[in-house]
Amino acid sequence: MFTVLHIKEPKAPIPEFRNLFRIVERWLIRYDERSPTVEQEDEIIMTDQQKSRKSKERSTHVQSLVRALHIMNVLAEKETGMTLTGIARLVKIPTSTTHRLLTTLQQERFVRFENEHNYWFIGAQCFMVGSAFIRSRDLVSVSRPYMRSLMEESNETVNLAVEEQGEAVYLAQVECRELMRAIARPGGRVALHSSGVGKALLSGMAEKEIKAIFAKHGMARATDKTIDKPDVMHGEMEKIRESGYAFDNEEHAVGLRCIASLIHDELGQSMAAVSVSGPKARITDERIKSLGALVQRAAAEITCEIGGRTAG
């Protein structure tokens, strides 16, 4: 008989996530050439020659914008700065064009120039733009479309969770259409060592942090299959880091299986975990690898969408 997942009520509110900036060109601007131009809106009739000139001007502006964004992304990865020629070589555009774009960006404080060593660095305005994005991003809202797609592909319930005070706290769930399904209410908590999302979150932590959590919360057995020894869990962490996903094999509830993968923030650190969960009768041994790949892909897509990057 399939056991429905029951979770206790939250103990404390979830804190805000880390608010650090990593520049990502996707969020600086989203340009759509199909949008109506001012001329179209004003119903101005242009000759073919005028239309051609306008089209070329628009293409040139878009190309310059893409190049400028590329330059900022390159500089964002180089904390020690870069020379003009070094930037031009990496972005693969002429030095003169690179210099023109840099000076324009410098005027708007998106880059800065150090005269002593002739190095270019990312500017303060990039931090302002990035900070505005981080303040406005909502992990649940961003994740939900990918969670729904994962549910459709896997035909299993999808969960989103974060670590808080040494436990996994569920933020959202997209239920599958099957009659038998796991239920995890938003705000509910589960132990890290005995759940799929929990083990995924543990895999992103340092050994010292993991030991501190076990010392505080212990490793109580929820079922006969719960891992309750630190040395065994250490080996489990190695497997998770190697495969890219955690597998809960009836360790939280009898008859329930769960496969989870990490979502990373802008520093490449673990931020949350996404999982699929369902009865052992549906999540069979033969499906584990393919479901693991689906969960990993969803985690990577959410990571990308929130401006994060995978560790390493």
Q: Please tell me the predicted confidence (pLDDT) of residue 61.
A: 66
Q: Which residues of the chain have pLDDT under 70?
A: 1-61, 131-137, 311-312
Domain 137-305 has CATH 3.50.50.60: no
**Rg of the Cα atoms in the chain:** 24
Packing angle between helix 207-217 and helix 230-243, nearest 10 degrees? 130
**What is the pLDDT at residue 31?**
40
Q: What is the pLDDT of residue 134?
A: 60
148 to 31, 69, 71, 140, 276: CA distances (angstroms): 26, 31, 35, 12, 11
The answer, as to whether pTM is greater than 0.75, is: no
Q: How far apart are CA 75 and CA 87, in angstroms?
A: 8
Rounded distance, CA 100 to CA 105, Å?
Answer: 9
Burial class (CB in 10 A: 0-12, 13-18, 19+), 184: buried
Give the pLDDT confidence score for residue 178 in this predicted structure. 84
pLDDT at position 266 is: 84
Q: What is the pLDDT of residue 311?
A: 66
Cα of 16 vs its chain's centroid, Å: 16
Each domain of the chain, given as residue ranges in start order, spans 25-134, 137-305
CA-to-CA distance for 246 and 275, rounded, in angstroms? Answer: 9
Domain at 25-134, CATH from 1.10.10.10, 3.30.70.260, 3.30.450.40, 2.40.50.100: 1.10.10.10
pLDDT value of residue 54: 53
Q: Kindly tell me the sign of the dihedral angle through the C-alpha atoms of 281, 290, 148, 19.
A: positive
